[in-house]
Amino acid sequence: MMDVGRHPRINLQTYSEIDDISGYIGNFHVTVRKKARYVDESECNACGECEKVCPVVAPDEFQEGFSSRKAIYMPFPQAVPSVYILNNDNCLGHNPIACGKCAEVCEKSCIDFDMEDQLVEVDVGAIIVATGMDVYDPTEMDEYGYTRYENVITSMEFERLISAGGPTEGHFMRPTDREVPKRIGFIQCVGSRTKNGRGNPYCSNICCMNTVKDSLLLMDHYPGTEIKVFYIDIRAFGKGFEDLYQRSKQAGVQYIRGVPGEVFEDPKTKNITLTVEDTSSGAIEDHEFDMVVLATGVIPRRDSEIVRKLLSLSRTEDGFFMESHPKLKPVDAPTGGVYFAGCVESPKDVKDSVTQASAAAARSEILLNAGEISVEAITSDLIVDNCTGCGICVRVCPFNAITGGDAKAKIPVEIVEAACKGCGTCAAECNFDAILMKHFEDAQIMAQVDSILDQDPMEKIVVFACNWCSYAGADLAGLSRMQYPSSQRVIRTMCSGRVDSSFILHAFEQGAPIVLVSGCHFADCHYIDANRWTVKRVEKLWDDLEKMGIRPERLQLEWISAAEGQKWTKTMKELEEMRQAVTEEEVEQTKKVLREARLKVEAKKKAKEPKEGAAEQAPAAATA
């Protein structure tokens, strides 16, 4: 930690949050909000005089509330930077009548009650997300009495009570009478591996070994303590872990297979009794303890949603951030130039966090060291001759990559290629075929639709899937060997925003019984909000289809994330049932209606064209 504080190439911004991130791989622009700490970081020399005179007493968060701190305080003795902070919620205020004592005694005048949040801008090539985890709060598991019985504590509270730097200076004692507990019970898997909707279904990875460690610490400090550990399985899989587990057993720690249903406190002695079925012997036994420690699990960080949204990341079903590939790219985020380190990706112990952190450093160095990156040639191109300057593309572009355009003056729009991310929403919305999406051209996609439907169209479901979420969700379904009927044919686009209404109508005209448009959930759209236009388009088509006497049910819409292989599978099964219900007569009728409607529109266009041509020539003649 100290090394970070003094490293010449680390710009440490504590008490700061990420306000905004824009840009893309290699070129991110980040706005950091440096929150007011009311103490001048560069001046404070941690003399501690301010703390002595502060009259406010507040619970010390670092000590899990077991002791108190002042309104102006050092987060913990070894804090980096070694600088005081003033908690504005606790502080009585700078009005000298109210208080202001700390400012009076600060010789260097570091305390500034009027300090405001500062916005700091940085430009970076890569981003490492190491936002960590939170500890499971066992309040909802009321049967363990965490909120009712003082002598039931969590494993995090245990850490502070046994730490030499803790509130008791390492003298382990139970909260009710400050006596050293002689009998201690550990309950494992609190909030982990649950199936009843409370807690989480996954294994938190660290709690078994943490309890083994805790038991050894206790046996070391207080030999002869009676320790019982109640567990489902002891998972001691890492290097040196089994050895530690065996040492704990040899030291006399009893491991009992079975997790108690409920715990009770003796109101007089404040001792805790729990009833448990030892599943290896089948015996139901009562155990009395002076203190019970809940080995609480690990959960995704509660405030990680901000970063997730700013970087368009997804979560796996457990709520942790999803990596690019579970085996082959476990450190890379699906968003280019973003990497994961530590518990943000899954629960990890210190060693695994450090390992992934070094991996993230190495992975990002590949990008940083290259110095340049080639951008996929999938951006939009303007077909100037077709552009009327109507400006609909300017309105729908999520990245403001299209500017200008004036329909009256017939000035075409301009596309800034560097800003274009290739979602294709502009091309889908353009009514004049004036935008060409490189590598996802209209003609290419239409050819795919034609090819799908030129044989046995009744047997097939046409599926448009966006690259980042629903296509990836289908990949995950396959990877997980989820089984579904083989009737769908997938057309991949970068974003569901690319799916032009004409693709869908063309598919129906070619005899598709069912068409599905699938994309990312609203919050997950990789092109900010391009999929809002997908919804608008599909909703309009539902209306249009209905007006033409075509069942809107035949056009389906689904948001399927990259983690939702199951939703993909379920959707495919349901659509197959719907497909079988579509009759040949119905499809023939649809084909006829759509063909007639299309011919009508084309005839109208043709009738209009010569007039438009004449109009175009007029101003040209005028300028000439």
Distances (CA, A) of 403 to 370, 413, 554: 32, 6, 37
Contact region with other proteins (CB under 8 A), list: 17-25, 283-291, 312-320, 604-612: 17-25
Site of tokens 């000439």: 624
Choose, by CB under 8 A, the member of 98, 119, 283, 373 that binds other proteins: 373
Which listed range, 224-232, 276-284, 369-377, 387-395, lies at the site for other proteins (CB under 8 A)? Answer: 369-377
The residue (of 108 and 351) whose beta carbon lies closer to other proteins is: 351
- Asked if the bond preceding 181 is cis, omega within 30° of 0, the reply is no
Total residues found in the chain within this entry: 624
Piece in contact with other proteins (CB under 8 A), picked from 27-35, 109-117, 188-196, 255-263? 27-35
Q: Which of 173, 485, 580, 586 binds other proteins (CB under 8 A)?
A: 485
Among 409, 418, 618, 620, binds other proteins (CB under 8 A): 418
Element (H, E) at 437: strand 435-437
Residue number, 277 or 441, with CB nearest to other proteins? 441
Q: Does 10 bind other proteins (CB under 8 A)?
A: yes
Task: Give the footprint of other proteins on residues 160-179 (CB under 8 A).
Answer: 160, 162-164, 166
For other proteins, the binding residue among 439, 573, 595, 600 (CB under 8 A) is 439
Tell the smallest beta-carbon distance from residue 173 to other proteins (Å).
Answer: 15
- Contact call for residues 461 and 575 (beta carbons, < 8 A): yes
| CA distances, 97 to each of 94, 101, 105, 316, 436 (Å) | 8, 10, 16, 54, 69
Pair 583, 511: CB distance under 8 Å? no
Give yes or no for residue 515 binding other proteins (CB under 8 A).
Answer: no
Decide whether 169 or 385 has the Cβ nearer to other proteins.
169
Nearest distance from C-beta of residue 12 to other proteins, angstroms: 5
CB of 227 to other proteins, least distance (A): 16
Subset of residues 90 to 119 that bind other proteins, contact rule: CB under 8 A = none
Report if residue 204 touches other proteins, rule: CB under 8 A: no
With tokens 């002791």, the residue in question is 67
CB of 542 to other proteins, least distance (A): 5
Q: Is 573 in the site for other proteins (CB under 8 A)?
A: no
State the first-to-last Cα distance of the chain, in angstroms, to the nearest integer. 73
Write out the binding residues for other proteins, residues 331-360 only, by CB under 8 A.
341-344, 348-351, 353-354, 356-358, 360
Contact 51/74 with Cβ under 8 angstroms? yes
One of 204, 314, 388, 448 touching other proteins (CB under 8 A): 448
Q: Single out the residue of 62, 18, 32, 39 nearest to residue 311, CA to CA.
A: 18
E strand segments, 508-596: 514-519, 555-559
SS (H, E, C) 480-491: CCCCCCCCEEEE
Residue 180 or 557: the one with the smaller Cβ distance to other proteins is: 557
**Which residue number, 53 or 419, has a Cβ lying nearer to other proteins?**
419
Q: Which residue in 508, 498, 418 sits closest to 462, CA to CA?
A: 508
Residue 183 touches other proteins, criterion: CB under 8 A:
no
Q: Which residues of 256-265 are buried (b: 16+ CB within 10 A; e: fewer)?
A: bbbbbeebbb
The answer to whether 419 touches 401, Cβ cutoff 8 Å, is: yes
Q: What region, left, alpha or beta, does residue 481 occupy, with left being phi > 0 and alpha being psi -120 to 50 degrees?
A: left
Stretch that binds other proteins, among 3-11, 192-200, 261-269, 387-395 (CB under 8 A): 3-11
Size of the site for other proteins (CB under 8 A): 157
Residue (309 or 536) nearer to other proteins, CB: 536
Binders in 216-245 for other proteins, by CB under 8 A: 216-217, 238-241, 243-244
Q: Quick check: 461 binds other proteins (CB under 8 A)? A: no
Options 89, 169, 372, 385; binder of other proteins; rule CB under 8 A: 372
Query: What is the distance, to the nearest Å, from the Cα of residue 605 to the centroid of all Cα atoms in its chain?
Result: 48
Q: What residues does 413 pair with on adjacent strands?
A: 404
Of 92 and 482, which has the nearer Cβ to other proteins? 482
Q: Residue 82 contacts by C-beta under 8 Å, 6 or more apart in sequence?
A: 5, 46, 74
List the Cα angle 70/75/76 in 5-degree steps.
110
330 near other proteins, judged by CB under 8 A? no
